[in-house]
Chain A
Amino acid sequence: AQSVTQLGSHVSVSEGALVLLRCNYSSSVPPYLFWYVQYPNQGLQLLLKYTTGATLVKGINGFEAEFKKSETSFHLTKPSAHMSDAAEYFCAVSEDSNYQLIWGAGTKLIIKP
């Protein structure tokens, strides 16, 4: 069965510092992987996704993620945090035969001035 684990319910970084949000998954087949962002009082918005091809995926707002099959990971990074990045981030996985998304618990990103 598929599952998604996001390490850390809260992550705090200083403005300008590297952002690293961790996501590990379990899947019996090559997965499709997604990162979504939720700003306060808003719905979820797609940041980036991996389906096939290049394992380093670039998304909106300067975020990127790398699919590492050997580590079953899809960590989200951004070189320099901005105050506007404060939000909750969700990792999700889907298998080809079942397009239903399995969601991680979410990580709240806190940006310190």
Chain B
Amino acid sequence: DAGVIQSPRHEVTEMGQEVTLRCKPISGHNSLFWYRQTMMRGLELLIYFNNNVPIDDSGMPEDRFSAKMPNASFSTLKIQPSEPRDSAVYFCASSIRTGVTEAFFGQGTRLTVV
């Protein structure tokens, strides 16, 4: 298995532009998580899905952020409009929601908003 695949690995964009981050979870996993990691705040859970349905989006910082999971093999995190304070590494992770199993992380997308 190729693991969790995120794209792009790096994104540099100008303030005000729309940014879309993509994630392909591990096949057969039915839970998907989006995290944001910064030096100041550490690792923050933004949103998680179970069976493609958003269960908890309380970590989404504001309405500029939105996430979708149209099917079991694809999810997007969109920021519109982007701001410099959105600069961070964004991770996607997936897991099997049967019992307690570990989350498998992608390599992350390093977003820089200038």
Q: From known contacts A43-B107, A44-B105, A96-B100, infer whether A106 and B95 are also in contact, taking CB-CB under 8 Å.
A: no
Q: From known contacts A43-B107, A43-B108, infer whether A103 and B102 are also in contact, taking CB-CB under 8 Å.
A: no
Which residue of chain B lies nearest to A95 when distances are taken between CB atoms in the complex? B100
Q: How many interface residues does A have (CB within 8 Å)?
A: 19
What number of residue pairs across chains A and B have CB atoms under 8 A from each other? 41
- How many of chain B's residues touch chain A, expressed as a range? 20 to 34
Q: Is A61 an interface residue (CB 8 A)?
A: no
B19 CB contacts on chain A under 8 angstroms: none
Q: Is A105 an interface residue (CB 8 A)?
A: yes
B113 CB contacts on chain A under 8 angstroms: none
Cα of A51 to Cα of B104 in the assembled complex, Å: 17
A99 & B107 in contact (Cβ 8 Å cutoff): no
Q: Is A28 an interface residue (CB 8 A)?
A: no
Name A's B-contacting residues (CB within 8 A). Answer: 32, 34, 36, 42-46, 49, 51, 90, 94, 96, 99-101, 103, 105-106
